[in-house]
């Protein structure tokens, strides 16, 4: 009897999926969608069926009693949240509240999850698959930074500062990166209003340690830090070269002053002339190289991210 019930249920879901697929094809044809969009929709529906067998997981959980739903969400999401450095030190009460807010999402390969410059309205915690996170620093010429996000990683960290800072603006933060799926991706999404509500209830967690942790693991802060170090390295190299040239010039002047003979003075004059020509050639070459570096790595144009303030009290 149990097997018969299961088979009937599976058959019903397959029939519902077939009808839905037919209706979707008719709708796509009616709206004259291009072939590439049709293929992406079909691929997503196929992937969703493969992962869930037609079961609406979120709807199923919402129909369960509250305590049972929370226990299931904790089983599914707690270990994922604890892998996130921003949340690993938080107490169970906050983690349980966050688990209850998470919603399962699926993305097919090549999907764009968020675009640079768009408002960020949710965070994503990856359980399977890979994402490519990229930034052009607001579209600046010659600037590009990318990173691969995998299982256990998250994106949308701009929401953390916005939600945890009691003095943040009411409007949603702007994404500093574009995130695309490199493969089929399973993740849990945390909406902005849910994160803001949970953060408001737990102000005692807004500590200096949390701010430092955020800065260390934030993609935006790490990109700025890498560019800052790179710019400092270029300045150091230029300074060392300038110091070396200055030392050679001082040694030459000292040699001329200490040289008393006419023949040696003539030789020193020739050496000074050659040194001057070489120095001008080096300076011109360095100036050209410096211009190219500035075009290729506009590190000094990268604006420092806003300092998160997690400890202030609401006005």
Residue-wise pLDDT for 158-209, tens only, equals: 887 787 776 666 789 889 889 999 999 999 999 999 988 887 776 555 555 6
**What average pLDDT does the chain have?**
77
% of residues, the chain, pLDDT over 90: 19
The torsion defined by the Cα of 199, 201, 204 and 205, in degrees rounded to 10, comes to -30
| Residue 308's pLDDT band (cuts 50, 70, 90) | low
- What's the pLDDT tens digit per position in 114-159? 999 999 999 999 999 999 999 887 766 667 888 999 988 888 888 8
Choose the weakest-confidence range: 120-129, 217-226, 297-306.
297-306
276 belongs to a structural domain: no
287 belongs to a structural domain: no
Count CA atoms closer than 13 A to 252's CA, side-chain side: 17
Note whether 51 and 64 are same-domain residues.
no
Note whether 50 and 134 are same-domain residues.
no
Note whether 38 and 140 are same-domain residues.
no
Choose the weakest-confidence range: 92-106, 107-121, 126-140, 260-274.
260-274
Question: Model's pTM, two decimal places?
Answer: 0.61
Note whether 82 and 39 are same-domain residues.
no
- Nearest-5° angle of CA 178, CA 184, CA 185? 65
Number of structural domains found in the chain: 2
Distances (CA, A) of 250 to 82, 146, 275: 61, 46, 12
Range of the domain at 2: 1-55
Comparison of pLDDT for 218 and 16, the residue scoring more: 16
| Residue 33's pLDDT band (cuts 50, 70, 90) | very high
Note whether 51 and 68 are same-domain residues.
no
Q: Specify the pLDDT at position 35.
A: 93
Q: Specify the pLDDT at position 210.
A: 61
Strand order in the sheet with 185-191: 103-107, 185-191, 122-128, 154-155
């Amino acid at each position: 009897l149990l097997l018969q019930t299961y088979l009937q249920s599976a058959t019903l879901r397959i029939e519902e999926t077939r009808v839905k697929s037919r209706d979707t094809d008719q709708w796509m044809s009616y709206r004259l969608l291009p072939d590439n969009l049709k293929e992406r929709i079909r691929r997503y529906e196929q992937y969703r069926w493969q992962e869930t067998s037609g079961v609406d997981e979120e709807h199923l959980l919402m129909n369960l009693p509250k305590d049972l739903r929370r226990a299931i969400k904790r089983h599914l999401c707690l270990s994922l949240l604890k892998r996130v450095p921003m949340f690993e030190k938080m107490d169970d009460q906050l983690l349980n509240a966050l688990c209850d807010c998470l919603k399962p999402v699926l993305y097919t390969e090549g999907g764009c999850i968020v675009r640079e410059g768009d408002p960020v309205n949710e965070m994503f915690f990856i359980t399977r698959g890979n994402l490519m996170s990229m930034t052009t620093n607001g579209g600046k010429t010659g600037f590009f930074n990318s990173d691969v996000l995998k299982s256990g990683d998250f994106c949308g960290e701009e929401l953390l500062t916005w939600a945890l800072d009691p003095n943040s603006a009411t409007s949603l933060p702007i994404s500093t990166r574009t995130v695309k799926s490199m493969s089929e991706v399973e993740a849990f999404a945390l909406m902005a209003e849910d994160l803001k509500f949970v953060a408001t209830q737990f102000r005692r967690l807004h500590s200096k340690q949390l701010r430092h942790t955020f800065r260390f693991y934030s993609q935006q802060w790490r990109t700025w830090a890498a560019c800052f170090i790179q710019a400092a390295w270029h300045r150091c190299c230029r300074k060392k070269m300038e110091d070396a040239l200055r030392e050679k010039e001082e040694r030459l002047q000292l040699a001329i002053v200490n040289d008393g003979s006419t023949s040696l003075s003539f030789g020193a004059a020739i050496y000074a002339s050659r040194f001057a020509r070489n120095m001008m050639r080096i300076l011109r070459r360095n100036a050209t190289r410096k211009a190219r570096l500035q075009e290729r790595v506009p590190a000094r144009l990268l604006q420092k991210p806003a300092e998160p303030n997690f400890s202030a009290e609401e006005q």
